[in-house]
Amino acid sequence: MRRKNVHFNVEPFGHKMKAINHRYILLFSYSLFFLLLSCGNTESDEIEKADKASSKDEKGNTNFLEDYEAIGANGTVNAIIEIPSGTVEKWELNKTNGQIEPEHVNNALRIINYLGYPGNYGMVPKTILSKELGGDGDPLDIIVLGPPVDRGGIIECKVIGILYLMDNQEQDDKLVAVSPNSMLYEVDDVSELEAKYNGISEILEIWFTNYKGPGKITSNGFGNKISALEVLAAAIKQYELSDAATIPK
């Protein structure tokens, strides 16, 4: 029996192998390219994150007592918000570092055991209200009627009066103001607030004389806008004098 010779054409196969190898090389090159590009983007992302963190740190270093004026350029009053309207967590300014920090009782955040604050509560920067002026030696307290503002926010508000309070036999007066983002901004004096918006002044008085419990805070009523601005001017002056006294001669 005659055996047939079988011939294999290996040249086309070799061409195919070369084409496949070339394809893998290209695929590897593209993969390497995109890997390097991805690394570059990751580095950019990390830089962006660092920049954001730096910006946050800079904001955290803001001294809310010293870095803002009491009176704005347009004659409004700057209120630094410590406790947003409607909330019950007690935060306050640390006069030493100018930061707004949580108040603690028995190593726990102090929570108001009452309805939430009836307005945005905070203080006026670059002010000190001594006991002689109706305060407690801290910056002048202010409550701004209007929609909630984040803690640390600044409201350029209009002062319309003052609420005279006695807290544990010590005077602790509060400025009353209105937010420009509220319909109440049309009001210029606390008497006008009582006439146009029945019940709001009573709500403020009832809230402040009850949120710490019965009998701890009493009210001596409201003073008008003129009286409030006189107290504000005295508190600004007192801050300026105290600040000048700390400047090295």
Tens of pLDDT, residue by residue over 78-97, are 999 999 999 999 999 999 99
Tally of CB atoms within 10 A around 120: 29
Calculate mean pLDDT across residues 135-157.
Answer: 94
Per-residue pLDDT at 121: 98
Q: What pLDDT, on the 0 to 100 scale, is given for residue 130?
A: 80
Alpha carbons 95 and 186: distance in angstroms, whole number: 33
When the pLDDT of each residue in the chain is averaged and rounded to a whole number, the result is 81
Q: Is the pLDDT of residue 28 over 70?
A: no
pTM of the predicted protein model: 0.74
Note the pLDDT of residue 22: 47
Task: Write the secondary structure of 7-40 as one string of H (helix), E (strand) and C (coil).
Answer: CCCHHHHHHHHHHHHHHHHHHHHHHHHHHHHHHH
pLDDT at 206 over 60: yes
- Residue 24 pLDDT: 44
The pLDDT tens digits of the residues spanning 30-87 come to: 343 333 333 334 333 433 333 333 333 344 589 999 999 999 989 999 999 999 999 9
Sorting pLDDT into bands at 50, 70 and 90, what band is 12? Answer: low
Q: Which of 97, 99, 43 is nearest to 51 (CA)?
A: 43
The residue that leads in pLDDT, 110 or 18, is 110
Nearest Cα residue to 91 out of 151, 165, 163, 167: 151
Whether residue 99 has pLDDT greater than 70: yes
